[in-house]
């Protein structure tokens, strides 16, 4: 069933993820110039990102359902158009509330049309190299902060923030719309290819799938995984500075964590294909928990870099494999809905970490408890992942091709 065109889908997904996620997170670059130019508070501007996380999760579930019904092309094309429109309208916002609604809701809905639908679609194109293919798409999303954010910073040096954001909107249209037109349904859905994994169980409806132990364990694991790493990721720069490291050093620690995440995606993708995604996810979650806890003891720059590399590889590596596990359990015809539902639940974990870290700092005067708590939440993710049920007979995959 594995077709060469699947790698075109991987390339399109990586590009779309990079542009969509990069455009979304470029708000961090705009924070200071926007605040200086408009007088809006940084807390208020950053609040748009909180809205984005929540909206993206709900949107991913809805877009996933539409992907199953109408195919991925119309979904990602709609997301591409909405993303450019949202950025363009946000660049014209005249009040903070208007900006929060447009950037938080419209852009959040648009980005939700890319992540879950593209990941779900890629899982249907591959049998033998499924983990690697999904990881490559995720790697495209992972390089977003190293591409779009520097581009946004360069634009702001020559233009005001509104013009810079408008240019990014136009660039998003130029890159995303042609890429979206390359996207196709997986052949298991188009052609009913014999031997496709998990294509049995024709009586398995979406409602039944969302109540299965497989979906429940997958979603809870995904939630705890994201809750364990979102706080440490978001606060690592402030924590390093609180430990006495210079601001520039603290930023490079964050960058090292991101680069390690890219390497982890590729490494875990290869290992997932060789040893099984579920087994590698459990291993990765254990390493993630240890990495989060190790931050508590880091004090020197060298210690921070070492922990950042370990932690970054772990959280970056496990994230794409949840889609692979979902594909092992569920047929492709409902994959968009199932993975979109899991992504929606995981987004709650992503939204929890930054808020919890800020609350702990405000009440206890430091970040130590954040990393201790993240260690505990990470262990909870491991415990839940160990409860992954075996595949029911009706969902057993066919033998993997040689």
Residue 260 has pLDDT above 60, yes or no: yes
Average pLDDT of span 42-64 = 85
151 or 43: which leads in pLDDT: 151
User: Does the pLDDT at position 249 exceed 90?
Assistant: no
The whole-number pLDDT of residue 256 equals 85
337-347 burial by CB neighbour count: b if 16+ within 10 A, else e?
bbbbbbbbbbb
- Mean pLDDT, residues 276-296 taken together: 95
pLDDT score recorded for residue 225: 96
Angle between helices 148-158 and 5-25 (to 10 degrees): 40
**Greater model confidence, 142 or 180:** 180
Over residues 129-156, mean pLDDT = 83
CA nearest to 115, candidates 342, 291, 288: 342
* Non-local CB neighbours of 194 within 8 Å, separated by 6+ positions: none
Query: What DSSP character marks residue 145?
Result: G
- Quick one: residue 5, left, alpha or beta (phi over 0 = left, psi -120 to 50 = alpha)? alpha
Residue 395 pLDDT grade (very low, low, confident, very high; cuts 50, 70, 90): very low
Q: Is the model's pLDDT at 285 over the cut of 50?
A: yes
Chain segment 367-378, per-residue pLDDT in tens: 899 999 999 999
Q: Answer yes or no: is pLDDT of 195 > 60.
A: no
**Weakest-pLDDT range from 170-184, 247-261, 308-322:** 247-261
Please report the pLDDT score of residue 57 as a whole number.
85
Burial class (CB in 10 A: 0-12, 13-18, 19+), 390: exposed
pLDDT of residue 379: 97
* Residue 200 reports pLDDT greater than 60: no
Residues contacting residue 154 through CB under 8 Å, at least 6 positions apart: none
For residue 372, give the H/E element and its range.
helix 368-385
List the domains of the chain with CATH numbers.
5-184 (1.20.1250.20), 206-389 (1.20.1250.20)
What pLDDT sits at residue 391? 61
pLDDT at 191 over 80: no
What does the buried/exposed string (b/e) look like for 13-23 if buried means 16 or more CB atoms within 10 Å of the residue's CB?
bbbbbbbbbbb
Residue 194 pLDDT: 34
Backbone dihedral region for residue 276 (phi beyond 0: left; psi -120 to 50: alpha; all else: beta):
left
Two tokens, residue 258: 């991101």
Alpha helices (H) in 71-147, listed in sequence order: 72-91, 96-101, 107-112, 115-123, 130-142
Q: Alpha-carbon distance 288 to 265, whole Å?
A: 13
How sure is the predictor about 392, in pLDDT bands with cuts at 50, 70 and 90? low
The pLDDT value recorded for residue 178 is 96
Query: Do residues 173 and 23 touch, judged by C-beta distance below 8 A?
Result: no
- pLDDT confidence of 197, banded at 50, 70, 90? very low
d(CA 306, CA 297): 12
Interatomic CA distance for residues 123 and 131, integer angstroms: 8
* 47: number of Cβ within 10 Å: 17
CA distances from residue 164 to 91, 102, 131 in whole angstroms, order as listed:
8, 17, 37
Q: How far is the C-alpha of 192 from the C-alpha of 172, rounded, in Å?
A: 34
Instruction: Tell me which of 158-162, 186-190, 210-214, 295-299 is least confident.
Output: 186-190
Check: CB of residue 175 under 8 Å from CB of residue 14: no
Q: Which phi and psi (to 5°) does residue 398 adopt?
A: -70, 165
Question: Can you give the pLDDT at residue 399?
Answer: 43
Is pLDDT larger for residue 397 or for residue 6?
6
Q: pLDDT, tens digit, for every residue of 92-109?
A: 999 999 999 999 999 999
pLDDT at 300 over 70: yes
**pLDDT at residue 198 greater than cutoff 50:** no
pLDDT tens-digit readout, 209-242: 999 999 999 999 999 999 999 888 878 888 888 8
What confidence category does residue 202 fall into, taking pLDDT thresholds of 50, 70 and 90? Answer: low
A 10 A CB-CB count for 214 gives 20
Question: Residue 52: helix, strand or coil by DSSP?
Answer: helix
Kindly report the number of other CB atoms within 10 A of residue 373's CB atom.
Answer: 20
Specify the pTM: 0.79
Report yes or no: 260 and 146 within 8 Å, Cβ to Cβ. Answer: no
Size of the chain, expressed as the number of residues it contains: 402
Q: Evaluate if residue 348 carries a pLDDT over 50.
A: yes
């Amino acid at each position: 069933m594995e077709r060469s065109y699947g790698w075109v889908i991987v390339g399109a997904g990586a590009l779309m993820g990079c542009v969509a996620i990069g455009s979304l997170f470029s708000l961090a670059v705009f924070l200071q110039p926007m605040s200086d130019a408009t007088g809006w508070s940084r807390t208020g501007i950053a609040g748009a990102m909180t809205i984005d996380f929540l909206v993206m999760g709900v949107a991913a579930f809805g877009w996933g359902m539409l992907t199953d019904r109408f195919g991925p092309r119309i979904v990602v094309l709609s997301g591409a158009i909405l993303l450019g429109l949202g950025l363009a309208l946000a660049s014209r916002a005249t009040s903070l509330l208007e900006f929060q609604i447009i950037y938080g809701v419209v852009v959040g809905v648009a980005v939700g049309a890319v992540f879950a639908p593209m990941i779900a679609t890629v899982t249907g194109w591959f049998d033998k190299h499924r983990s690697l293919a999904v990881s490559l798409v995720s790697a495209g999303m992972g390089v977003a902060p190293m591409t779009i954010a520097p581009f946004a910073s360069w634009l702001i040096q020559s233009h005001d923030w509104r013009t810079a954001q408008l240019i990014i909107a136009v660039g998003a249209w130029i890159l995303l719309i042609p890429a979206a037109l390359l996207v196709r349904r997986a052949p298991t859905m188009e052609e009913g290819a014999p031997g496709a994994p998990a294509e049995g169980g024709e009586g398995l409806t979406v409602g039944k799938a969302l109540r299965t132990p497989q979906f429940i364990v997958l979603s809870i694991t995904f939630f705890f995984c994201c809750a364990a790493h979102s706080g440490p990721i978001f606060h690592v720069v402030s924590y390093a500075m609180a430990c006495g490291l210079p601001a520039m050093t603290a930023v490079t620690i964050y960058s090292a964590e991101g680069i390690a995440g890219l390497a982890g995606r590729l490494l875990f993708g290869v290992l997932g294909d060789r040893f099984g995604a579920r087994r590698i996810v459990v291993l990765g979650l254990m390493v993630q928990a240890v990495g989060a806890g190790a931050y508590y003891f880091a004090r020197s720059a060298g210690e921070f870099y070492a922990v950042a590399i370990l932690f970054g590889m772990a959280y970056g590596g496990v994230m794409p494999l949840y889609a692979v596990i979902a594909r092992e359990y569920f047929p492709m015809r409902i994959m968009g809905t199932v993975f979109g539902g899991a992504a929606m639940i995981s987004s709650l974990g992503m939204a929890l970490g930054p808020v919890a870290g800020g609350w702990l700092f405000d009440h206890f005067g430091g970040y130590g408890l954040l990393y201790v708590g993240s260690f505990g939440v990470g262990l909870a993710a491991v415990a839940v992942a160990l409860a992954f049920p075996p595949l029911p007979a009706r969902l057993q995959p066919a033998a993997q091709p040689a």
